[in-house]
């Protein structure tokens, strides 16, 4: 069931609790990595919806999948950093960036359109290069 973000009030967690409480594990096919969600409203809505399981799609070196959340733009940008986790409002999708996409210029990580950055992978993001379209992806709390 979709979770509405727009028009909903979110209370901020204390910085210490927030940083500790938003550790997640992402498993895609045979690949698993730890990550941290940031303190944005969109990341809070994702945290509240966990665990999430979906069928992932690839677009260059990006994995994306619908997570059933509706959120508006929040400091949106098209170019993100290697290892960034983002929410793509038009597709209601969670995105994992681990290299260039078809929209990239050079080695940058570029989304198809502006995304809300919601977190960061820990460790080497290029491990996700092993994941193929159609792989089952799970996001869960640590």
pLDDT tens figures, 63-113: 999 999 999 999 999 999 999 999 999 999 999 999 999 999 999 999 999
- From residue 52, alpha-carbon distances to 2, 3, 77, 89, 99 in Å are 12, 12, 24, 17, 23
pTM of the model: 0.85
Composition of the chain by helix, strand, coil, percent to 5: 20, 45, 40
Is residue 142 within 8 A of residue 20, CB to CB? The reply is: no
Domain ranges of the chain: 14-141
The class of domain 14-141 in CATH terms is mainly beta
Per-residue confidence (pLDDT) for residue 21, from 0 to 100: 64
Structure confidence by residue, pLDDT tens digits, 36-75: 999 999 999 999 999 999 999 999 999 999 999 999 999 9
């Amino acid at each position: 069931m979709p979770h509405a973000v727009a028009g909903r009030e979110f209370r901020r967690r204390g910085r210490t609790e927030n940083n500790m409480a938003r550790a997640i594990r992402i498993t895609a096919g045979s690949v698993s990595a730890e990550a941290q969600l940031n303190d944005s409203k969109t990341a809070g809505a994702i945290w509240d919806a966990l665990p999430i399981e979906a069928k992932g799609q690839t677009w260059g070196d990006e994995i994306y999948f619908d997570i059933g959340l509706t959120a508006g733009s929040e400091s949106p940008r098209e170019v993100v950093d290697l290892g960034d986790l983002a929410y793509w409002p038009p597709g209601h999708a969670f995105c994992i960036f681990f290299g260039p996409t078809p929209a990239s210029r050079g080695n940058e990580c570029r989304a198809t359109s502006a995304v809300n950055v919601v977190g960061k992978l820990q460790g080497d993001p290029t491990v996700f290069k092993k994941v193929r379209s159609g792989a089952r992806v799970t996001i869960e709390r640590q």
